[in-house]
Structure 1
Amino acid sequence: MKRRLYSLRHILLLSISLSVIGVAYAQESYNLRYVTLDSIVRTLEHRTPDRFYYAPEQTDTLLITLQAETGNVLETLGRELKKSGFSLYRVQQHRWAILRGTPVSGIHEGFYSDSMENGKHNQEELSQISDNGKQAADSENRLYTLGDPQFSGLEGSVRLTGYIHDHLSGEPVSGVTVMTEDKKYYAMSDSYGFYSLSMPRGYNTLIIQGFGYKDSRRYLRIFSDSALDLNIAEEVFSLQGIVVSAEKMENVRNVRLGLERVRADRIRHIPMAFGEADVIRAVLTLPGVKSVGEAAGGFNVRGGATDQNLILYNQGTIYNSSHLFGLFSLFNNDVISSLELYKSSIPAKYGGRISSVLEVNSREGNKNRFTGSAGIGLLTTKLTLEGPIIKDRTSVLIAGRTTYSNWLMKLIPKESGYNNGSANFYDLNAGISHRFNQNNHLFVNGYFSRDRFSFDPNVSYRYQNINGSVRYRSVLTDRTDMVLTLAYDKYNYHMQDTTNTAMGYDMSFSLQQVSLKADFSTRLNGKHKLDYGLNAFYYILDPGTYVPFDHRSLVSADILQREQAFETALYLSDTWEITPELSVEMGFRYGLYSALGPNRHYLYHPDKPRSVETTIDSVSVGAGKMIAPYHAPEFRVSMRYAFTSDFSVKAGFNSMRQNIHMLSNTTVISPTDIWKLSDANIRPQKGWQTALGFYKNLMNNTLELSVEGYYKHMDRYLDYASFARLLMNHRIETDVIETRGRAYGVEVMLKRSLGRLNGWLSYTYSRTELRQDDPRVAEPVNKGNWYPAPYDKPHDLKLVGNFKFTHRFSFSMNMDYSTGRPMTMPVGTYYYAGGWRLLYGDRNAHRIPDYFRLDISFNIEPSHKLTLLTHSSVTIGVYNVTGRKNPYSVFFQTEGNTVNSYMLSIFGCPIPYITYNIRF
């Protein structure tokens, strides 16, 4: 749709027209002078059941005077149109077409349908109100005729499919609702912008709504299954309290529980440390999602450990999602298109983790013109460039981000010994998308990041993520589409220590993954939607390499044996709409996993703790041969019953398995954490979760209320034994213990999606406990009783709010309160080896002080003047306004025969910041 630039005269006339309409609206009669046809049509459609179809390009300069009573307004309008060379046709009851030219005599009520069936219509006239075949629907005032007219006399439902695009950039738009006017039938566009909607055959009015886009309509007459692409325009002036159905209906009507969607533009308005918009920090504002503390890498979902979350970026797997000690995530918000978090009701196509799935997708890039953006803040700077290679077909997007954070290290007190350290990172995103035709698309994406930090000039750490994927999407038939994905992922870290030249070493770890996925979706009819496919994964793990730093070092090289594994899974799920009120999604996934040779592993006495002393034999396996294969089914079931259009109840159950484990003796993700593949001695984790939820839209759908309760059970979670050695351990199975876990809780969320004041308030009560009851363990933690997990935080209250003063100026705030996390306290001292030592009590029996933080920001948005070459925005804010010294950890030291406690805070004072962004 082309943008129209009106002259000053037209703008003044439009303003006068709107003012006159405002007066006339409250009266029973119409007294409109020199009003645009578009204004008259909107007034009539608002006050009457009539609908009008016309070509805007023929009538955009037409001004009409309309003086009539309610009973004869259409007759009067017809006379006024005739004066300007137009005619008003009645094509069906309450359906009118406005065409240029002289009326055809003898038009009867069945003219429209008869002409469609017999093909005897005036092509020049009807081209203004109807189209056939696949097309992009831009106009709100055209009647789009779709399908084969020979089915016009039949009843029943048909299916409409297509893609939704931004009319300026040509990029697909996700999270847009397409629904019939009676709201009985609706669909939401996916991450590719694709929608599939079942509707009655015949005349339909589509309502299209999405956040940040103008609400629009499309008028259809559909005879059979058809395809129609939709182009939608940005909503520049969006301060009115209109609720977007894309969110409000999803809350009530979606069959899945625990699904959270966060828009990339909303992330930008959540105050963050140092002003950098951050995906993971935004996820942490949602109910049921927690972290162990400030600047902590990773997150915990409904009692799960950090490694139990599957993080996907363009369908590739991310193993370390943080930069700069967890201050930033690896996702550049400027290139993010969509973000979905599954806390429950995880789709059957996803597997490999037992707690949650975070799916992040990047944008495709502008297909119509070259654009860019840049930003600078206290710690980071970034640049994004995008544009068409072949207009409307091929686009490219390139983005880079880097940091200059060494000055931050200088602020650390000298007595810490860390103020001479350094820390920096950079990341790169690149993507190409190509449209072969309307049904076939190709997406190629790549990501690379590198972090490096050191607290001492002689000790350095560095780690990197590599992520690449190729996706091919094809609409095979009107009812079946397919996505093929090939992805490669790599995570590695290096640690160097040259403090002592003779003992200098270089230690490294590496994990690689290759995945192939074939995902299909078939809409059988208006009641069933099948999702099915095949996933395959190949893992290569180098668990540790320890070598001399240079020729002067005397350390002995040590290399742990490489691990390899293969995993494959088949899945099938059916979303069944039994009645308009009752829907069920049933899913089944069957996975096969096996470690592969070459490999040498040990056999231990079955009734004794694993150790060198209890070893009874060793087994060598040849290259490519399977080692202790594991296979089992997984089940996914969710159900929704809608009592009314704004109230529903949902229930669900899902079981999951996990074949790869992260081993760590810290409470947060750190660069030196290692991953371990399941093998003959370490079995896969497994778990299940059941949930129940209530969803209600309040105050005329301006507020969304949800209450969800859940219970989760986990088996074979790996906890570390006392005095465990996790790095460079050839027998890691002797230092980890299979642990059971249970988690339960209630999440309450109140959200306002749009308007001057928007945001959400959430409260979570939850408990997470672990237990080591393996009879082979000689000394289980807490004597085999339940104990709190390190990330157990019972109470969690979060508030995210944004208030718009004008179209350009807004105020944002973020408040976070939670119970302090568990800690282990010393209960006494004892004398050993010439000094006093601490005697600790039960693990995690005490807690550090509670956590509270308030952040605020003031946002100046870009100007909406289209003639400007650049658009700038500024954010000024304060992180931790109250300056509360939130404890990150509490530790103890003995000094003489006295035990002293110390508390570590990451941000113990307010942190002001300013960021500047520009689009061009």
Structure 2
Amino acid sequence: MKQFLLWCYALLFSAFIFAQKQTVFEQDSLQTVLPEIEQYYKVNFSYTDAIIKAKKVSIILDDLVDLESLLLTLSSQTNLKFELINKTNIVISSFNKADLISICGQLLSKNKVVANAVIKVNSRYYTSDETGSFKINNIPFNSIIEISSFGIKNNILKATDCTYPNCITINLTEKKELLDQVVISEYLTSGVTKNVKQTTIHTKKLNLLPGLIEPDILESIHLVPGVSNLNETVNSIHVRGGNSDQNLVLWNNIKTYNNSHLFGAISAFNPYVTDKVNFINKGTSAKYGERVSSIIDITTNYKPVTKISGGAGFNLLHGDAFLDIPLIKDKLSVLVSGRRSYADIYKTFAFKNYASQVFQNTKVFDNTLEFSQSKNIFWFYDYTVNAAYKATDKDLVKFNHIYNKDFLNFSAFSPNANNLYTDILKTQNEGYNLEWEKEWNKELSHQVDGYFSEYSLDYKFSNESNLGTSTNTKTNQIKDFGVNLNFKYDVAEHKQLNFGYQFSNKNFKHSFNYITPTQSMVLDAANDNTNANSIYSEYQVNKPKDYLYTIGLRANKYSSSKKLYIEPRAVLQKFVIPEFSINTSIEYKSQYVNQVQESVISNLSLENQVWALSNETNLPVLTSYQYTIGANYSENKWVVDFEAYFKKTNNINTLDFDFNNQAIYTYHIGSSSIQGVDLFIKKQLKSYNTWLSYSFNSAKYRFEELNNGNPFPSNVNIDHTIKWSHFYKWKKVDLSLGWLWHNGKPYTKINTTTNTDGSLSHSYDNLNTENLHVYHRLDFSAVYNFRPHKNKKIKYRLGFSVLNLYNRKNIINKDIRFSNNTSNELNISDIRGTEISPNMVLRVFW
């Protein structure tokens, strides 16, 4: 019986197979195949013989293959457009630039799938899935595809090489260059990665962050655990208890000294022409010097392009545009960008909110002065130029230029005293860099560049009255130029040696002057010059998912110091299991560039610090060492990252004013000891992810002449910080919400007593024993991406954000000033944080 049933089944299956009509064509001419398709599917093709000439196809005519799928197959094999006019008529034509296609494929390297690879199509980014496969719909027919991934050489191909459904296998080549293992692929959000050495922000792939409707390079760093922002400005970056001037900020290897606009409202770097930002707060590579706290390395990574692309937009503070132009296809390209505020033309409510926070307790917003007429002019702008020339397949020459400027002019007339007050403040920073990259062979490559950076700050306050004009001026100027020679040698698989030489020359000037009709005084001035020569070497072994260690050494000789500074660096990471790793690092660094509090109290007090070079008298070279230990666990869309650290910095400076005589001040030299913990927890779901971080930081100062030589909390000490963020994607809408909480900044309480003659005397309690009120605020942002036109290459973005959503009245500092009368009064007022501040943006990309 079983044999009988088996034979019946075999007969039925054979009958089903032979009942199907099936015709196979293997590399037959399209001209021969088309009549067969017409007869099989009862359709008609319209075409010219010249279009289909020499085209060959491999297809199967089968009842299981519908007509639409067959036409897609024909299109992918011939690069011709098969357009179904109606149910029976099909037109064959060539593709034009406006036509859209779908592409697909699978990425392999040494027969292993390449998951999470970045696939760039024109100016848009996609990723491969866990099997290395990808499918991208509705892209221009003539698109160029660039594929990049960790440890893989970039691969460029045409969209017509992998049109759907002809999903080809793309074999990628491993790159011998050793890259640090990515521990967290989506750290804060998509576009942010973290490894044992650094956090990397890929600005073009960056998802929405709380309170930001546009990427902001410096503002994004504030969300990293261990980073504090004490005065709500983008350049207030206090990394693990360090000061802002202890961060080295590079833009394409140009050292920058003015990193913000509107006195800290936004960063001075256009994110739309930036490729990535490396933020390093531990285990610093021996390649980097000059700062003891952190490195913020901003790179354009510009290369020649094949097509024109660009974008433009505006928000309630400024407008901007950028354009990428190929001058010689695949050989020479230029990328230009520009931004400008329009507050001098029209002041939006967003600008007024920022201005009221920035200019509070200055004459610009001083309600105690009675002005019959006042005028406030403010504007800023910046522009960049990037050029790349591919001389040969192994030689790339780059030119980078950046310029930014801020201008403020406030004038007011007081009828009671018949006085005209004028405040004029100008700051600008410009830089140039010329770079040559060469790959000598598979093992050896170099990067050589020269840079020039110039910074200037000019402030003038004048008081015109019947008695004449009195003027206070302040200037701070920097000229910095240097060369870098960096070499990279692949010793063997998983082993690499980096070494190089660096030279820089810095000239720093500052002066404070007071001029009246009867006298002219120089209150303080300096003109210093320092040469720095450095050599470094670094050896790294990196075995993915096993272990990594880096050992480096850097030697610095500064002309302003007789000492040779030897700086060892080391990093070790070990994977206990694929999902869990432990790490440790140690570093020693020196710094001969500082921002010091000015010795003359200015009237505007917006920029009350000046850049100065170290010397062997009152401003010695800073030295610092840091130890860290950490662990990371990542599985099932959960991420837990933990780090503990200890940092000691010597030769820090502080300015001590005598509150009973404003002409008396003293610089003190001391040290800081900082210990802390950073904890980061993240959970990622399909359309929603959330992360929570907690930071503990105990930063203590010690100066022999202050506080009886006992340690006291530093000016930037924040013991406890909590950051909690959310991201949700719904169709074409991105939503982000973030809450920040930390205890108040420390300050010193001042006691005032009245003398018998009616004058006042001032003294202070133990240093920094009081704290401001707890700080917290909630930020929200939303972005909608859409393409209303048939031309899918053009994309629009509409965004809306609110800072301090529930309008918390935060106090972020205390402002202390001497009165202008003889009673020696002190005016102490609160500096308040940002009130509820909405902003909007509209952008277009092409």
TM over 0.5: yes
Q: CA deviation at 1:739?
A: 1.2
Aligned partner of 1:513 in structure 2 is 480
Cα 1:61–1:217 shift into 2, 3 Å: closer
Cα 1:818–1:832 shift into 2, 3 Å: farther
**Residues 829 and 838, structure 1, Cα contact 8 Å, conserved in 2:** yes
Aligned partner of 1:799 in structure 2 is 724
Q: CA deviation at 1:506?
A: 3.7
**Residues 693 and 709, structure 1, Cα contact 8 Å, conserved in 2:** yes
Structure 1: how far apart are the matches of 2:514 and 2:621?
31
Aligned partner of 2:289 in structure 1 is 351
Aligned partner of 2:376 in structure 1 is 421
Deviation digits for residues 700-757 of structure 1 (CA, Å, limit 9, x no counterpart): xx232210111101111112233499x9x9xx9x932221111111111124578422
Aligned partner of 1:776 in structure 2 is none
**Residues 502 and 554, structure 1, Cα contact 8 Å, conserved in 2:** no
Q: CA deviation at 1:267?
A: 5.3
| Secondary structure of 2:755 counterpart | strand
State yes or no: 1:341 paired with 2:279. yes
Aligned partner of 2:677 in structure 1 is 746
* Identical-pair percentage: 18
Q: CA deviation at 1:885?
A: 0.7
| Secondary structure of 1:884 counterpart | coil
Deviation digits for residues 30-62 of structure 1 (CA, Å, limit 9, x no counterpart): xx999x99xxxxxxxxxxxxxxxxxxx999995
Cα 1:431–1:772 shift into 2, 3 Å: same
Mean CA deviation greater in 744-753 or 482-491: 744-753
State yes or no: 1:814 paired with 2:814. no
| Secondary structure of 1:354 counterpart | coil
AA paired with 1:630? K
Aligned partner of 1:18 in structure 2 is none
State yes or no: 1:538 paired with 2:505. yes
Q: Pick the aligned partner of 1:592 from 537, 557, 565.
A: 557
Q: CA deviation at 1:812?
A: 1.4
Q: Aligned residue pairs: how many?
A: 696
Aligned partner of 2:697 in structure 1 is 766
**Residues 164 and 195, structure 1, Cα contact 8 Å, conserved in 2:** no
Aligned partner of 1:288 in structure 2 is 226
Listed as ranges, the matches of 1:837-848 within 5 Å are 837-848=761-772
Structure 2: how far apart are the matches of 1:142 and 1:880?
45
| Secondary structure of 1:735 counterpart | strand
**Residues 672 and 702, structure 2, Cα contact 8 Å, conserved in 1:** yes
Aligned partner of 2:833 in structure 1 is 906
State yes or no: 1:264 paired with 2:264. no
| Secondary structure of 2:483 counterpart | strand
Tell me how large the CA RMSD over aligned residues is. 4.6
Q: CA deviation at 1:810?
A: 1.8
Deviation digits for residues 300-348 of structure 1 (CA, Å, limit 9, x no counterpart): 1011111111111111111121211211111112111101100101111
State yes or no: 1:635 paired with 2:635. no
Q: CA deviation at 1:260?
A: 1.2
| Secondary structure of 1:421 counterpart | strand
Structure 1: how far apart are the matches of 2:209 and 2:759?
50
Aligned partner of 1:560 in structure 2 is 525
Task: Using structure 2 for the length normalisation, give the TM-score.
Answer: 0.73
Aligned partner of 1:713 in structure 2 is 648
Q: CA deviation at 1:893?
A: 8.8
Aligned partner of 1:919 in structure 2 is 845
Structure 1: how far apart are the matches of 2:110 and 2:247?
46
**Residues 405 and 424, structure 1, Cα contact 8 Å, conserved in 2:** yes
| Secondary structure of 2:584 counterpart | strand
Structure 1: how far apart are the matches of 2:548 and 2:456?
44
Structure 2: how far apart are the matches of 1:736 and 1:559?
14
Aligned partner of 2:362 in structure 1 is none
Deviation digits for residues 52-100 of structure 1 (CA, Å, limit 9, x no counterpart): xxxxx99999567699xxxxxxxx9xxxx9xx99xxxxxxxxxxxx99x
Q: CA deviation at 1:558?
A: 7.3
AA paired with 2:335? L
AA paired with 2:688? L
Cα 1:880–1:590 shift into 2, 3 Å: same
Deviation digits for residues 402-448 of structure 1 (CA, Å, limit 9, x no counterpart): 11235345985661559743332111111111112221111111111
| Secondary structure of 2:390 counterpart | strand
State yes or no: 1:680 paired with 2:616. yes
Cα 1:371–1:266 shift into 2, 3 Å: closer
Structure 2: how far apart are the matches of 1:261 and 1:856?
23
AA paired with 1:632? Y
Structure 2: how far apart are the matches of 1:655 and 1:244?
24
- List runs of 5+ in structure 2 lacking aligned partners: 1-16, 26-53, 79-102, 133-145, 154-166, 357-364, 413-421
Structure 1: how far apart are the matches of 2:500 and 2:474?
40
Aligned partner of 1:300 in structure 2 is 238
- List runs of 5+ in structure 1 lacking aligned partners: 1-28, 38-56, 68-75, 86-97, 100-137, 147-156, 182-190, 199-215, 229-242, 596-627, 774-779
| Secondary structure of 2:707 counterpart | helix
Q: CA deviation at 1:643?
A: 1.1
Structure 1: how far apart are the matches of 2:188 and 2:58?
38
| Secondary structure of 2:486 counterpart | strand
Aligned partner of 1:328 in structure 2 is 266
Deviation digits for residues 856-887 of structure 1 (CA, Å, limit 9, x no counterpart): 12211132977246321110222111010111
Q: CA deviation at 1:913?
A: 2.0
| Secondary structure of 1:890 counterpart | strand
Aligned partner of 2:256 in structure 1 is 318
Structure 2: how far apart are the matches of 1:395 and 1:245?
34
Listed as ranges, the matches of 1:781-796 within 5 Å are 781-796=706-721
Task: Using structure 1 for the length normalisation, give the TM-score.
Answer: 0.67
Structure 1: how far apart are the matches of 2:447 and 2:548?
25
Q: CA deviation at 1:762?
A: 1.5
Cα 1:918–1:269 shift into 2, 3 Å: same
Deviation digits for residues 101-133 of structure 1 (CA, Å, limit 9, x no counterpart): xxxxxxxxxxxxxxxxxxxxxxxxxxxxxxxxx
**Residues 255 and 639, structure 1, Cα contact 8 Å, conserved in 2:** no
**Residues 119 and 147, structure 2, Cα contact 8 Å, conserved in 1:** no
State yes or no: 1:693 paired with 2:621. no
| Secondary structure of 1:364 counterpart | coil
State yes or no: 1:582 paired with 2:554. no
Cα 1:308–1:696 shift into 2, 3 Å: same
Deviation digits for residues 8-47 of structure 1 (CA, Å, limit 9, x no counterpart): xxxxxxxxxxxxxxxxxxxxx9xx999x99xxxxxxxxxx
State yes or no: 1:451 paired with 2:406. yes
Structure 2: how far apart are the matches of 1:880 and 1:586?
44
Listed as ranges, the matches of 1:178-577 within 5 Å are 196=151, 220=171, 246-247=185-186, 257=196, 259-265=198-204, 269-272=208-211, 275=213, 277-295=215-233, 297-362=235-300, 364=302, 367-405=305-343, 407=347, 408=351, 412=356, 415=367, 417=369, 420-457=375-412, 458-500=422-464, 501-544=468-511, 546=513, 554-556=519-521, 560-577=525-542
Q: CA deviation at 1:590?
A: 0.9
Kindly indicate which of the two structures has a greater share of residues assigned to strand: 2
Structure 2: how far apart are the matches of 1:669 and 1:192?
50
Structure 2: how far apart are the matches of 1:516 and 1:840?
48
| Secondary structure of 2:220 counterpart | helix
Aligned partner of 2:36 in structure 1 is none
Listed as ranges, the matches of 1:842-857 within 5 Å are 842-857=766-781
Cα 1:892–1:813 shift into 2, 3 Å: same
Mean CA deviation greater in 557-566 or 483-492: 557-566
Cα 1:716–1:217 shift into 2, 3 Å: farther
